[in-house]
Structure 1
Amino acid sequence: MFINIVSLFSKKLGARLALFLFTRPLKGRINEEQSDFLGTSFREELLVNGTPVMTYRWLGKGKTILLAHGWESNSARWQYLIEPLKKLNYNIIALDAPAHGRSGSSRFNALLYAEFIQGVAKKFKPDIIIGHSVGGMASAFSQSNPENSNLKKLILIGSPSEFTDVLKRYFKMMGYSKRTKNAIIALIKKRFNVETISFSTAKQLELLNLEGLIIHDEKDDVIPYHDAILINKSLKNSKLITTSGLGHSMNDESISNHIYEFLEN
């Protein structure tokens, strides 16, 4: 492993290279088919801390829903859900994450994504946020801002709970040495001035007074089902729906039906 070799000579350089790979998506830009669908929306680019954030709106007279996609994806992934929600007259907003879709930045992390969500929420004041995967984690982190106090419901689909576990899975996948892993953790602490254990969806949700719906597949091979259990226990007024065989993407009509039922109650 090249980065492990680099770390033998310079832990700091090895950690920077590893973190660069971890925060730089290889997919998620919009293709022609996705562009056609997103072209049915009202597009508006916002600036959040100087970085452009692309938003897409399908106008309705009902409650406002904000959609936050996951890693190496973009707002078009919500097409299966947006079309039915339009018929129910919801006011729908989706945003592209940092370094995804048509949004700016060359790097991605959940805290930066949370800032994007905060900026969009400040302008459009959603009643409901739906987040998939790390979009769910970022949605939870975004609630540290009291300006988002109008939020009533939060739906998390296949979302991770503990960032430390995300890191462990990344380390294992990449085959990093103990020296490299320790250097990465030290670099994250230095950059964000906080321990990695502090990045927790479950802990973030403990004090929030929201209605929550957690949907997770028991065979999810990207984010373990155990994460959903942790989140469900922390968000007091929440319901956990367990699926089987839908994997991590969860693009299925049955998921939509669970969401509609939750929204209408």
Structure 2
Amino acid sequence: MSQNTPNSTPEPTVKVPKVILQTGRFLQSISTSLAATYGQRLFITPLKHKMPKREFHMDEQTEQTQLFVPAFVKSIVVYRYGKSDKKILLAHGWSGRGTQLVKIADHFLKLGYEIISFDAPAHGKATGKTTSMPEFIASIHEIEKQFGTFEFAIGHSLGGMALLNAVREGFQTKKLVTIGAADVITDIILHFTRTLTLKDIVAEKMKAKFDQKFGRDIDYASAHIAAKEVNIPTLIVHDEHDADVPVSCAYAIHNELSNGSIHITKHLGHRRILGKQEVIEKIEGFLIG
């Protein structure tokens, strides 16, 4: 991987394969509704990435169990790292896995905490091919029933959005940290369809399909809306040069929190921020400093 210069984009978004772009545009030429159905399927299908070597030790040293989530009749994989009465829940983002926040996990393990993380449905070692944020949220609630209570919770990207919603719905923790969390779901869908070089009407039709599927306006789960009902101390961490989730999302979420703090980094992008020691120490200072 090439070294990023100070003025370069730290982490460009994933390049979409030509066959996917061509298929989407072909379907759109026939019907925007067909393109919306195709886009909807892609939108709920995460990529499973190969685990990098830096995560191997956490994978080897954790106790891993399958946990059935009745709300969606699916199973997830839960990782228990260390043993302690003081527990921290880690929630990965879209196309992530339970070991992705390994640097954060290692840091707090040394401080005497037990780390609980998980592979969400269709992620990591969990079964299935499709999932959605409601399933992330339901997984968090089920983990709390089986493994709680948690001193703190830390979520990256979609994991941060899911934790904000889970806290709004009653998940109990003393403090919360989100890292690179996105915000308005309509905006996420629009960004997704534009990345696929599809017309904006396709995004509108996709959103309508999701609204129908879940029986409500899915923007209800947007992070800044959930934040209005989150009263515990919450730290919003985001990189100014995040190429996947604009930093404006961090400010929008922070503006709605009644007890929020914000920490903006530079040139770390959407994922490298997870392993930066100064960021981890900032999180430690917020949680237990």
Deviation at 1:195, TM superposition (A): 2.1
SS at match of 1:24: coil
**2:153 alignment partner, SS class:** strand
Q: Secondary structure at the match of 1:123?
A: helix
Match of 1:133 in 2: 157
CA distance in 1, matches of 2:49, 2:75: 16
Q: CA RMSD in A?
A: 1.9
Deviates more, 1:158-167 or 1:21-30: 21-30
Q: Say which SS state the counterpart of residue 68 (structure 2) adopts.
A: strand
CA shift for structure 1 position 206: 0.8
**How far apart in 2 are the matches of 1:180 and 1:79?**
37
Amino acid at match of 1:95: F
Question: Aligned equivalents of 1:143 and 1:32: distance in 2?
Answer: 33
Counterpart of 1:168 in structure 2 is: 190
In the TM superposition, what whole-angstrom CA distance separates every residue of 1:199-220 from its partner, at most 9, and x where no partner exists?
A: 3111112122211011111111
Q: What residue in structure 1 maps to residue 257 of structure 2?
A: 235
Amino acid at match of 1:204: A
Map of 1:152-191 to 2, 5 A cutoff?
152-191=174-213
Shift of 1:105: 2.5
User: What is the one-letter code of the residue matched to 1:133?
Assistant: S
CA contact (8 A) 1:3 1:14 kept: yes
- The number of residues matched between the two structures is 263
Q: Provide TM-score, normalisation by structure 1.
A: 0.92
User: 4+ residue stretches of structure 1 with deviation over 6 A?
Assistant: none
Partner of 1:257: 281
* TM-score, length of structure 2 as denominator length: 0.85
Per-residue deviation, 1:120 = 0.7
Match of 1:53, as an amino acid? I
1:255 to partner: Cα distance: 1.0
Change (3 A) 1:32 1:47: farther
Aligned mates of 2:249, 2:138 — CA distance in 1: 23
* Paired residues of 1:214 and 1:240 also in contact (CA < 8 A): yes
Per the alignment, in what secondary structure is the counterpart of residue 121 of structure 1? Answer: helix
Aligned equivalent of 2:123, options 100, 119, 143: 100
Of residues 42, 49, 65, the one that matches 1:44 is 65
Whether the 8 Å CA contact 1:29–1:73 is kept in 2: the answer is no
Taking the aligned partners of 2:102 and 2:27, their CA distance within structure 1 comes to: 43
Structure 2: distance between partners of 1:256 and 1:201: 22
Q: Pick the aligned partner of 2:78 from 50, 55, 63.
A: 55
